[in-house]
Structure 1
Amino acid sequence: MKAIDLFAGAGGFSTGATMAGAQVIWAANHWPLAVQYHAANHPDADHLCQDLHQADWSLVPSTDILLAAPCCQGHSKARGKAKGNPQHDASRSTAWAVVSAAEYLRPQAIVVENVPEFLEWDLFPAWELAMQKLGYTLAPHIVDAADNGVPQHRVRMFIVATRSRSPLVLDLPKRQHIPASAFLDFDSGSWSPINKPRRSCATLARVSAGRAAHGDRFLAPYYGSGSGTTGRSLHRPIGTVTTKARWALIDGDRMRMLTVPENCAAMGFPRDYRLPAPAHQAIHMLGNAVCPPVARDVIAALMNQI
């Protein structure tokens, strides 16, 4: 089956589709750097760099499956979603590009990825009605990446839209959880002493709490509730990877932030996946991405059922 990828970013959805046996023939994103690296990893696909509100869908190839991961920042509780915030309002509006593409292309199936709060969006009923008017039935699935063999707890929503009488509920596999220890490399990265001048009191408090709970080796996030105050065991999947470096590795009296390869592995990307050299750019792309193994399982199940 052929697939196209809207809001393709670093290419997690496309990579998962390829793993599932689909052929990704076209991908788009508004960020030139993301398009550059998507093309480097998926050279057989055609690419468009554009705000998809302005896309001419007549120039996009017909497809069996449309993949879309519209901006989640306007929905995510982690970023806040106060009404009247112009940036968040614009972010949420990207979902309407999916309706526009569906109206013209009429693919057999559509898979939309976002945070679960997407379903609580004030305009979700209108968005859902628009998709239904185009002949699609919608089945939301809430999926934790850890259940798909990704060494990360990352809960996301996948809406499966099909041109069928009834919503298509996917039979997704439940894979064994993989601990963070599987991808950590204690011989890499830039280590520094925990007790060094100007180390913040908040960091020292997190490290102290983590030692009490987990011993000398554990992960400590730099912000957030839960693990943000207690640390996280290396014997369980890591918490959510975000667009900014969040996770520190603690080893006795030293610590460091996770490396790009470790973040890449935590997201389930192939080891040889190409990313920008500057770490902040690579981590931003990874934090915005769909975990490829999750996309693989969702798309494979979809292909088996349509």
Structure 2
Amino acid sequence: MQQEIRTCDLFCGVGGSSRGAFMAGATPVAGLDMWGPATEAYSANFPDAITYRMKASSLKPKILLDDVGSIDLLLASPECTAHSVAKGKKPGCEKSRETAFEVVRFAKVLKPRWIVVENVIQMQRWARFDEWKSKLQNLGYHISAGVLDAQYFSTATSRKRLFVVCDRLRMPSLPTQQQLSSKTVEHILGKGEPPNAPWALTEVKTPDRALATLKRAERAIESLGKKTPFIMVYYGSDGAGGFQRIDRPLRTITTLDRFAYVRPSGSGHEMRMLQPTELAAAMGFPSYHRLPNTTRREKIKLIGNAVCPKVMAAVVKTLTC
């Protein structure tokens, strides 16, 4: 790796890509996002970087270049929800998908040696994906792309994402996935909270508990036994019964509040939702990475949209070595 790799993070979110690049030895100098909680988090974690709160389309790359100087590595996680099967053809989806072309616009002016674009794997099926790659190739970039799963990078959650890596000087490669992570749900329970944090543990069986929740709990207890704690999974579509063991990496973290920790109690079982700091720990964020002073819902949205830092660190190390 060269002496300093100056990094700009488009669609920076809570700063997962920049945190990973920093872990790999790069220096974040700029981050851009249109959402206030995201830029609040980014500026808190990277105070020496310039943070722009605006749409990428509203910022002229030349202004950014004048503000921060040369950029060696451009990171980007364009809007991804419109690539999902559920949203596919809804109004506005194509406009959302086309935020990927902002990467081309910035690359044309900033001329970074390297680019890393992270997105959901469905991006590969986007009708303009090949056109988008061609525009980057026309700027002189060699391109490789592949899917990486965070649970193979010492991270306590499964998360498959597409990584597109670009290099002006040579054909880039992606890191090789290692063995399944030894990090599990057990490793993240209680992370980031005071030892005596007042979590709201409530009995699973209460008069107002939703029937679907009770059914999930019953299936888990029947499968795992009465004495085994587990994670109850809401909004799942994988046919796994709505629960998982705690000696496995957490299932993919989304923008929804979907994981509850359930454990045996004197009268049966009690439960609580996983905390944002626990979810951040599962994603591989270090304990010192700060979340913004905002609502629980917004914190979970930030984490659910984030890039796993350890995966990005491996990508940047492989790309720039």
TM-score of the two chains, using structure 2 as the length reference: 0.89
Q: Which deviates further from its counterpart, 203-212 or 273-282?
A: 273-282
Tell me if structure 1 keeps the 8 A contact 2:75–2:115: yes
User: How far apart in 2 are the matches of 1:187 and 1:219?
Assistant: 21
Deviation at 1:264, TM superposition (A): 1.3
Partner of 1:293: 310
User: How far apart in 1 are the matches of 2:260 and 2:112?
Assistant: 43
Partner of 1:197: 207
Partner of 1:224: 236
Paired amino acid for 2:223: A
User: How far apart in 1 are the matches of 2:36 and 2:189?
Assistant: 31
Tell me if structure 1 keeps the 8 A contact 2:233–2:242: no
Paired amino acid for 1:204: L
Deviation at 1:180, TM superposition (A): 1.0
Deviation at 1:25, TM superposition (A): 0.7
Partner of 2:82: 74
User: How far apart in 1 are the matches of 2:290 and 2:239?
Assistant: 30
Deviation at 1:224, TM superposition (A): 1.3
Q: What does 1:127-276 correspond to in 2, within 5 Å? A: 127-164=132-169, 167-172=171-176, 174=178, 176-177=180-181, 178-185=183-190, 188=197, 189-215=199-225, 216-226=228-238, 229-252=241-264, 253-276=269-292
User: How far apart in 1 are the matches of 2:292 and 2:169?
Assistant: 41
Q: Which deviates further from its counterpart, 178-187 or 120-129?
A: 178-187
**Residue 118 of structure 2 corresponds to residue 113 of structure 1:** yes
Tell me if structure 2 keeps the 8 A contact 1:12–1:290: yes
Structure 1, unaligned stretches of length 5 or more? none
- 2:301 alignment partner, one of 280, 284, 290: 284
- 1:50 alignment partner, one of 21, 31, 54: 54
Deviation at 1:228, TM superposition (A): 5.4
User: How far apart in 1 are the matches of 2:132 and 2:204?
Assistant: 49
User: How far apart in 2 are the matches of 1:3 and 1:274?
Assistant: 20
Partner of 1:35: 39
Partner of 1:123: 128
User: How far apart in 1 are the matches of 2:313 and 2:113?
Assistant: 18
Tell me if structure 1 keeps the 8 A contact 2:40–2:292: no
| 1:185-207 alpha-carbon deviations (Å, 9 max, x no partner) | 39752111111112111111111
1:86 counterpart SS class: coil
Over the aligned positions, Cα root-mean-square deviation in angstroms equals 1.7
| 1:207-232 alpha-carbon deviations (Å, 9 max, x no partner) | 11111222331111111123652411
Q: Percent identity?
A: 36
Paired amino acid for 2:87: K
Q: Which deviates further from its counterpart, 183-192 or 292-301?
A: 183-192
Paired amino acid for 1:127: W
Q: Which deviates further from its counterpart, 217-226 or 106-115?
A: 217-226
Give aligned pairs, total. Answer: 300
Tell me if structure 2 keeps the 8 A contact 1:213–1:231: no
Partner of 1:64: 72
Tell me if structure 2 keeps the 8 A contact 1:214–1:231: no
Q: Which deviates further from its counterpart, 205-214 or 5-14?
A: 205-214
| 1:50-108 alpha-carbon deviations (Å, 9 max, x no partner) | 1111221001232111000111101123xx1332x223223211111001111111110
Tell me if structure 1 keeps the 8 A contact 2:142–2:168: yes
**Cα pair distance change 1:34/1:284, threshold 3 Å:** same
Deviation at 1:240, TM superposition (A): 0.8
User: How far apart in 2 are the matches of 1:272 and 1:168?
Assistant: 31
User: How far apart in 1 are the matches of 2:231 and 2:23?
Assistant: 30
Deviation at 1:270, TM superposition (A): 1.2
Structure 2, unaligned stretches of length 5 or more? none
**Cα pair distance change 1:191/1:265, threshold 3 Å:** same
Q: Which deviates further from its counterpart, 239-248 or 228-237?
A: 228-237
| 1:262-296 alpha-carbon deviations (Å, 9 max, x no partner) | 11111111112211342111111111110111111
